[in-house]
Every structure is written in structure tokens, then in C-alpha cells.
Chains A and B, each alone.
Chain A
Amino acid sequence: MMELTVENLSFQYNRSPELNLEEINLQVSKGEVIGVLGVTGAGKTTFMRTLNGLIPQFFEGKISGKVLVQDLDTQVYRIQSLVRRVGFVFDDPETQIFGINVKEDVAFGPCNFGLPKEEVFARIKKSLNLVGLEDYEERATENLSGGEKQRLAIAGVLAMGSEILVLDEPTAALDPLGKEAVFQIVELLKKQGMTVLLVEHETEDMAAQVDRVIILDHGRIIYRGETRDVFQEVPLFSKYHLRPPEVAEFGWRLYEKRLISKDEVPVTEEEGVALIKRLLPSMAPPSTINAIKVDKSEGKGKIIQSGNAAPQEVMIEVKDLSFSYIKKQPVLKGINLQIHQGDFLALVGQNGAGKTTFCKILTKLLAADTGKVTFKGEEINKFSHVRLAKHLGYVFQNPDHQIFSSSIKEELEFGLINQGLGEAERRERIEKVLHIVKLDKPLTTHPFNLGRGERQRLAVASILVLEPEALIIDEPTTGQDWQGTRNIMELIKDLNRQGHTILIITHDMRLVAEYCNRVVVLNKGTILADETPRQLFTKPDLLKEARLRPPQISRIVHQLADRGVPQDILGVEELLIAVTKLREQGGV
């Protein structure tokens, strides 16, 4: 018997104008780990909802075809019976935790089934052990980190005894450490014979985890296959706006140059290292180490390197800044930083390192304990929020925390009215800003009729409309697919080109490498590094201390030092050049 059988499944939500799922067929046997890929709106979540009866029992619509969980038809059995076999973990850690403490939360499922008390306690212990939260029983759920909350959610599902686990973008809201922990759990569960469906945008992690992959687009499975076969089809990824693993992209380029066969295209870090070692068979003679030059004006290196260029005007200066929420537990300890006109700066570090606190102090949402912040030489304490908004904008992570109007126009006008600008000026600015953010919708459109990416654009626009010289943008790409990520980063890059100074908070090192000219690493309240991404990613020890994971290509390059591969290579393009040159030198 199959664990999951999906036959000719089609579904259309009641208010949807078109089919949301079309003719889906899938069979999953016990112990398989299936990766599900697709852009936002491709139908991934909709598909997952059919697996435990949420569709059509909770989310109503027109359904045809059949979904069987083991032998249970999801259109016949109640959701509450199906969830004992199929457990769901959602992307938002906040809205799936019910207990005030950890123990109560894990117990929620088993208690709902009316299991005997001893059994419930045994299950709590077992599932907390599995997710690495042993001895967390009495902790208040509120004080857990995002990663811990997500692990708790997995434990809660495991405690129900589910044999099939559906993870719907489980790491979307997590920092790299939290992500890593979740993926480790998936690996462990796989070893224990659990059947797992994993919806993820992080293809690099997925490639190392899953047995099979399906790609959804417009509600249809448009591609499926063994993990290696799918990830080796790199053009497929760009066609469906997905981000292939860097290493696969690199491999594909080699394949295009006919240096390797298609079957040799690597899909994981290990495979990448092994391939390059094979291509550069001998140890490089010591004389050639670092002798080869990769022209960094090509590819990703074209950004202005701060420090090398002529000194620019200091826009924001932070001196000896310290801050603590609770006495004697400083969050920021003596921070000194100068942000220059035209910088595209990434502020990175684990959650809790003080990134958001730092930005809140810059924008006067918090007052520093000691030290001072100046904007173009003037202390920010002397600014009112209204005046500061004209110079320094802050775009928050979730656009829905600020959108309150019933039309795009009103939303954009809010800041302008606060500034006391007149009707004509307002109209002019709104027109201009909509052009900049490429939000091509009628001014009367209700913001909640916009997609998530468009709402984010609107949020950026509502800050940008005040024409600030500097912009702080907090995790602009969290929870977005590759296409959305690309769009928003390109927008930010354009703004930077037009002269805006940019500070982004992000966890995505690949974006840092690709877009930023400067990266500041915060760790435990101090600045651990302040340099170019290229310099930073050559320092594995420092990265390890800050618990940051460099982009995949950089990780591969670190393992190839003895082959003469320059350590400061960034991105696919440069590695390609380096490998080609090394082969020419070696006479391969």
C-alpha cells in the first residue's frame, strides 16, 4: 500500500477564477522524502492542504479526483482523523503554538485525541528528544526563538503519531541556524523511516535532503524526477523562476562548454568539490597559488569597493553606541560605524545579535544608553520623527504591519500629509514613486488586492515617497520566492544607483555577495567585521564565529585552496574563470 496516492486531483477555490490544481497524480511510498518546488501561487500550499483533508473540508471549492492517505479517502474521513497520519508544519512559527509552556503545546494534539495521561507524557518526551528540545518542557513558548518554535511545532505534530510529515516552507521565517536545525531534523526523521513532503525555496538544502522532486506551476506538476535528475536540469529552473543551487549552475556552465557530461553536473556542495578536484587533478605547484588572476571587474565584482574609492561623505555616524533592554544584559556594546553616502551595506548576524535594535536606534525608535548617532553631522536626538522621515526611511519586514488605507493613493499620501505637503506636490511625488517601484496599478486599487510582492513594493514606495537620502530595509526578501527576491533586490539596487544610501538586514549571503558593497557582521552586540563581501567570505573562521554560512560557491572554494583556486572568488562566473585558467596553466 502506498503512503499517499493522489489521482487526477483538480481543485478550484470557491472564489478563484481558475483551477488552482489541475490533474495532479502522485504516489509516495513509505520512507520517501519528496521535495516540492514552485513559485508563489504555483499551488504548492493548496496541494499540501489536500493531503490532510483541509481541502475540501475547511477550504471549500470544487474538487475532483482522489487523495488517499494510506487507505483513508481525505474526502470521506474527518480532518481530525486524518491528522493522526499526516502532520502539517506551517511556515509561520507564531500561529501554530497553543501552549503557554512547551510541554502543554506538545501535549495539545495527544490530549485532543483523549489519549491516556501516561501515553501523552511518553510522547512529549520522545518527540521533544527527536527535535532536540529535551529539557524544554517547562519553558514558556513565548520566550523561544523562531527556530525553536518551529522545532516545537514539528514535535507537536510528531507527538500525534503522524507517519507522514508535510513541511510547508518550514524555514521561511528562520535565520540560518534555525534553518540548519530544521533540516537536521528532516534528515533524522528520514533515517527513521518517516515519509516527508518538503516545500522549500532553499534549493541548495533541498538538493542534499530529498529523494524525489516535483515542480509545480499554475497548479500542475510540470516536472518530476529523482533529485539529481531534476537539479541537473538547470535551464528548467530559470524557466520556472526558481533558484538553482549555485553549484548546479556552475556545473551547467561547464556542461555547456562541453567540459563535463550532463550526468556529471553536481547538485550538492560535496559533488561540486569532488568535480573540481577531478578537473584540476594535480596539487597546484606552490608558485601558482594566488598567481592566477580573476578579473574582478567582470561578473559580480563590478560594484564600487568602499575604501578603495575616493572617500565619500559620511552620512550616518555612530559613536560608542551601547544599549540594553534589561540592565546588565547589553544588546549592543560600544558600536562605532560610519555609513557613507552611496553605500549598499548589509547588516548580517544571527537573530539576537542586535541588528534590528541597532536600526531602531538609528531611526530613533529606541534611545541609546550611551553614545551618539549623527546624521550628516547633526545628532538624531534633535530630529523629530517627522523630520527624520525625510532623510532616513525604514522599511519594515512585513508590509502588512503598515498598510492601512483602502487605496494605493491614500497609503502613499499618509507620510506626505504628515509632512504637511500640498495636494499638487503630493500627486507629483506619488506618480514619481510609483514609476520608480514599478507598481503599475490604478491609484484606487485596494492594497489587499495586491500580491505579497506588490504590497512590499507599496511599503517601500510609502517610505520612498518622502524622498529620504538613506533607506534601512529589514529583511526585504523573507518569505518570498526567487522571483520576488530578485525583483525587490533589483529595485533596491536601482535606488542605490540613483544615489540612495542603503542598509539592508538580511540572512541571505548569496544576496550579500551579489548586491552589497559592504557588509557589517554583528555578533553578540559588537561589530565582528566591516569589509567587502569578497573579503568577508575568505574568512571561514570569522564566519564560523558569527555562525554565518557563506554562499555555496565560497564554501566550495574554501575546500579547494590546495588546488590553487583563489580564495576570494565570488559567485559562479568567477569560479568558472578560475577553473578554466587553472586548467590552461596545468595544460589540461
Chain B
Amino acid sequence: MFVDYYPGATIIHRLDVRAKLVAFTALMVLLFFFTNPFYNLLLAAFSTFLLYYLGLPTRKISSILKPIAPILLIIMVITAFTYPADNFVIPVAKVVFYKKGWFEVTSGGVLYGATLVLRIFNMVVLSSILTCSTPLDHFLQVMKMSRLPSNVSFLIITGIRFVPTMQKKVEMVFNAQKVRGAHFDEKGLFSRIKAYIPIMVPLLVQSLYMSDRLAVAMLNRGYGAAARQTSLEEISLTGLDYIFIILFSIVTGVGIYLRFKGIGRL
């Protein structure tokens, strides 16, 4: 889930991107440790708390969650109906609500469905929190530090920069062909591909043309002049970051311990 940076001054905003990535990874791992929805519910409460703590406008939050709501519902229903009781170990999960042939609605199915739903919810919310609270530049810094060749990170930045430009081009080309009476609702794969040729060709030509001009513009700005380019913002770890990293390492450790103790199963 890619969400724009939302400026702010919360602790999460101030944390170093690496600390945030550690915490994010730890939470992602924890999500998959337990099948009992209780633990994921705890995590969901935590991530929801963070979401509100960030002070995102409600409109933005709903724009994150709305698109996935139907998927969550479908998953919930399908799991509830398709997991027979012998998949589960703990008694609470073995209750059969309804059975006809292979078709079985069990408490375990419902609970497992809830876990899956909470997992997706947590993944979406946590990754949104990460991208909302971290400027793109910081991710790129990590990319640079991880010894990714500077060409690669430049490629990625430029790619991101030109997404909206290309979107505009796509719209312009679509409009230009629409007013000539083009129709895109053809039946059948081949006809459909053919219907899109009037869109694809000008776009391809435009991108080639743009890439040519960009190459010139890059040289014009001295790209490749010095062996090492200046980084504008150098990220550095502070005390808070270390506390965070240690805290999440402990939480993950505890999670692993509990998991091997057999806690949190269904």
C-alpha cells in the first residue's frame, strides 16, 4: 500500500527510517506467528492507535481502508465455510455450527478467518504508517547506504518522479482517441489488444522522446561529473532509535518463545 508522505512531528516521524524498518519487520513477523485472532487483535489495536497518533485526516484513513473492505469480507466468509473442525487443536475452535457433506461451518474457521482479516488489516495499516511518516528521500538514503549503485537509486527516484507525468500523458492520449470515436470495450482478447494500439503507440513514442530529452537534461546538470554525489540529508540513529530497535527485538524474541511454547494456536 503506497501512501504519500504526511508531514508531522510525532515520535514516529522523528524516528530514523532504519529503526522504523526494524520495527516494521518485527511486527510483520509477529503477525504470522499466531493463528489465534486474539494476538492479532492486540496488534491491530496497537496499529490503529499508531494511525490515530499520527494525526492523519479521516479522509486519508478511509481512503486506505475502503478499497480493501470487500476483500476482507470475502476472505472472512470463505474461511469460515471451508475449514473443517479437524484442522484445529484447541477445543474452542472445534465447535461445528453447521455440517452438510464436506461443507462445514466451524468456530475455528470463523476465528481463523478473523486472523487472516486482521493480518491483512495490520499489514495495510502498518505499511501506510511507515510510508506516511517517512519522506521518500529517507528510503532512498537507505537504498544508497545499502550499497545499491547510485544509478539504480537514481533510476528509482526518476521513475517515481515521472509517474504523475506519465499519468497525464495517458489521459491526454485517451482523450485524443476518444474524440475520434475510439472504443475500448471490444470483446475478446485479440480485439481488445487491438483496440488499445492507438493508446500504446503514442505513449511509447512519447516515452522514447522523453527519455531522449531526459538524457540530455541529465548531462546538462552534470550527471556523472563526480565519483561521489553529495547526499542532502544524512540520516543518523539517535538514542530513541536504539531504544526502539531494542524494544522491538525483545518483543520479537518473546513472540518466538511463546510460539515454540505452542501458545496462540487454534
Contact = CB atoms under 8 A, between A and B. Distances in A.
B216 interface: yes
A586 B179 CA distance: 58
A98 B172 contact: no
Interface in A402-436: 402-405, 414-415, 418-419
Interface in B243-265: none
B165 interface: yes
A114 B217 contact: no
Contact of A114 (B137, B160, B213, B229): B229
28 contacts: A54-B219, A58-B215, A87-B220, A88-B220, A100-B157, A100-B160, A104-B232, A107-B232, A111-B231, A112-B225, A117-B234, A120-B232, A141-B161, A142-B165, A160-B222, A360-B175, A365-B175, A394-B179, A396-B176, A401-B169, A401-B172, A401-B176, A401-B206, A404-B198, A404-B200, A415-B180, A448-B205, A466-B180
B189 interface: no
A401 B231 CA distance: 37
Contact of B213 (A90, A99, A100, A402): A90
B242 to A, nearest CB: 25
A564 interface: no
B173 interface: yes
Nearest to B200: A404
Contact of B225 (A88, A103, A107, A113): A113
A396 B225 contact: no
A418 B181 contact: yes
A84 interface: yes
Nearest to B175: A365
Given A58-B216, A98-B161, A402-B176, A109 B202 contact: no
B226 interface: yes
B96 to A, nearest CB: 50
A48 to B, nearest CB: 11
B136 A100 contact: yes
B220 A83 contact: yes
Given A80-B223, A114-B226, A402-B173, A386 B181 contact: yes
Nearest to B167: A142
A354 B219 CA distance: 37
B183 interface: yes
Interface string A63-78: 0000000000000001
Given A121-B232, A141-B161, 18 more contacts: A90-B217, A94-B165, A95-B217, A97-B161, A100-B161, A107-B232, A112-B221, A113-B230, A114-B225, A114-B227, A117-B231, A393-B179, A398-B172, A401-B172, A401-B202, A402-B176, A402-B177, A418-B180
B214 A116 contact: no
Contacts of A160: 221-222
A80 B225 contact: yes
Interface of A: 52, 54, 58, 78-81, 83-84, 87-88, 90, 92, 94-100, 103-104, 107-117, 120-121, 141-142, 156-157, 160, 360, 363, 365, 385-386, 388-389, 393-394, 396, 398, 400-405, 414-415, 418-419, 448, 462-463, 466
Contacts of A419: 181
A94 B201 CA distance: 20
Nearest to A397: B172
B180 A463 contact: yes
Q: When A and B form their complex, which 8 residue pairs have the shortest distance between CB atoms, in order from nearest? A: A114-B226, A404-B201, A418-B181, A80-B225, A402-B176, A386-B181, A95-B213, A96-B217
Contacts of A402: 173, 176-177, 180, 198, 202
B70 interface: no
Contacts of B213: 90, 92, 95-96
B202 A83 contact: no
Nearest to B206: A400
Contacts of A398: 172
